[in-house]
Amino acid sequence: MILTVTLNAALDITYRVPRLRPHSTNRITEVSERPGGKGLNVARVLAALGHRTVATGFAGGGTGDALRALLAETDVTDALVPVGGGSRRTVAVVDETTGDTTQLNETGPTVSPAEWDTFLGTYRELLGEARAVALCGSLPPGVPVDVYARLTRAARTASVPVLLDTSGEPLRRGLAARPDLAKPNADELAALTGSTEPLRAARDARRRGAHAVAASLGPDGILAVTADGTWQAAPPWHITGNPTGAGDSAVAGLLSGLVEELPWPDRLTRAVALSAATVRAPAAGEFDVATYEELLSRVVVTDHPAAA
């Protein structure tokens, strides 16, 4: 099975409005609710790809109950650890005229030392069955900032490959624990390295400890710097829609490709096709199947001849 970790799970709420007008009343034409947080989005896409997937992390309060009820309707196995505080909500407001999305994210519950210890026990037990693990997203209050470094080292001790998808100080510390793959976006990569040139920044991030770095570049696709080579994959045309969760679908593509031992160009093709197909879907954690299947044969992969 594939294990995903979402320490700051959320109930994702998506509102669609004809046109978003600040400082005014907006009439909602459609609302959807999904179990959310980066790792849960990854888990749902992995399950849709046919992989047995288990999701762990924290969930609590009425919001946590709601997201777990929604998760029970999917093919993802729920191994979330209960907490006393209430899980957060994230609200995405999609402007149907422009396609732009406005995101509002709550902070999340404070995790106690006892709840953290319970999670660690659950995590170590699940590693015994895992073929790979994705460590994803922001940290709730009360969780140590070096948590992803600790979880990466535990996975490596269990010989389980690790994909790390976070930002800021948790990313910097997590890289030092040598994850198999880090997947920052362009802004996260620039904040980490101080460089806005993607290839230079990705190489810098890899020197900080990751065995490979796959950087999301928005409409320009994904740049991967690995021990085997450097590639960039991009969709053949600009995809419009709701970008929420597109990066999480890319993680699912990369992680499933790792488990299936696909060559890097094929992993990137899948990741880009899934990411673009998610932009065309109504909510994070989903992808438009027709778009995905069409793009699989049309994603453009470029081999960078320079050494990684």
What pLDDT does 306 receive?
54
Residue 163 has a pLDDT of 98
Q: Is 248 a catalytic residue?
A: yes
Cα 292 from Cα 197, distance rounded (Å): 29
Instruction: Return the pLDDT at 3.
Output: 98
Residue 307, pLDDT score: 47
Q: What percentage of the chain's residues is helix, strand, coil (to nearest 5)?
A: 40, 25, 35
Q: What is the pLDDT of residue 251?
A: 96
What is the CB neighbour count within 10 angstroms for residue 34? 24
Burial of 295 (0-12, 13-18, 19+ CB in 10 A): buried
Walk along the chain (308 residues) and give the pLDDT tens digit of each residue: 999 999 999 999 989 899 999 899 999 998 989 899 999 999 999 999 999 999 999 999 999 999 999 999 999 999 999 999 999 999 989 888 887 888 899 999 999 999 999 999 999 999 999 999 999 999 999 999 999 999 999 999 999 999 999 999 999 999 999 999 999 999 999 999 999 999 999 999 999 999 999 999 988 899 999 999 999 999 887 777 777 788 999 999 999 999 999 999 999 999 999 998 888 776 666 888 888 888 888 888 888 765 44
Q: E-strand spans in the chain?
A: 2-6, 10-17, 30-36, 53-60, 77-83, 88-95, 101-105, 132-136, 162-165, 181-182, 213-216, 222-226, 229-234, 300-304
Model pLDDT, residue 61: 96
* Percentage of the chain lying above the pLDDT 90 cut: 75
pLDDT at 216: 93
Secondary structure class of 15 (helix, strand, coil): strand
* Structure tokens belonging to residue 26: 């907006």
Model pTM? 0.91
Please pick, among 248, 266, 288, 303, the residue that the annotation labels catalytic.
248
Whether residue 136 contacts residue 5, with contact meaning beta carbons closer than 8 Å, is answered with yes
- Determine the 3-state secondary structure of 217 from DSSP: coil
Give the 3-state secondary structure of residue 240. Answer: coil
